[in-house]
Amino acid sequence: MTVHSGTTKRRFRLGNRTRKGVLVVHIVSVGAWIGLDVVMAVLVFTGVLTDDDGTKVLAFQALELFAVWPMFISGVTCLVSGVVLALGTKYGLLRYWWVAAKLVLNVVLTALVLLSLRGGVAEVAEQGRRLAAGALDTVVAGDMMFPPIVSPTALLIAVLLSVFKPWGRIQK
């Protein structure tokens, strides 16, 4: 890790090996996050679309087991490593539109895991338990369709932004 000093301001830069190490963490956290989204999609669509009560209960309880905390940890790891990469390279945190857009996407998606997904998952898992106990006729889980559509779409946009780096600098 090195610090380059200019005539007017000192700028923090990651050394090449450190930058690559942080980039590996960043890309692995993205991979884990997208993988968790895919499993979430399989379980949610199975739970919503199946006519078999046993499968429905199993899908929503499996969702409760893995969905929230691993996804939140992947999101935070991606955010922290992304911020370190941005600050420690020529890109900067708010110097390029593609980085700023990813920052917004990452913060919003990670917040939604705790603010929206957590409650939704707990609700359908509880309904599943009551269905299994014979206290409910069905599970109402229509809203659960949104997270597995919104999250992978936003992550795909973030990957495209990372690779194509569109729109240039925020300030000339």
Q: Which residues form the interface with ligand HEM (CB under 6 A)?
A: 19, 23, 26-27, 30, 78-79, 82-83, 85-86, 89, 91, 93, 99, 102-103, 105-106, 155, 158-159, 162-163
Amino acid at 112: L
CB atoms closer than 10 angstroms to residue 70: 16
For ligand HEM, which is the closer residue by CB, 103 or 136? 103
CB atoms closer than 10 angstroms to residue 9: 7
Q: How far is the CB of 35 from ligand HEM (least distance, A)?
A: 12
Q: Which residue number places its CB atom closest to ligand HEM?
A: 82
For ligand HEM, which is the closer residue by CB, 138 or 164? 164
For ligand HEM, which is the closer residue by CB, 27 or 145? 27
The residue among 169, 65, 149 whose CA lies nearest residue 109 is 149
CA angle 14, 16, 20 (to 5 degrees): 90
For ligand HEM, which is the closer residue by CB, 58 or 83? 83
Q: How far is the CB of 101 from ligand HEM (least distance, A)?
A: 9
The residue among 38, 32, 9 whose CA lies nearest residue 81 is 32
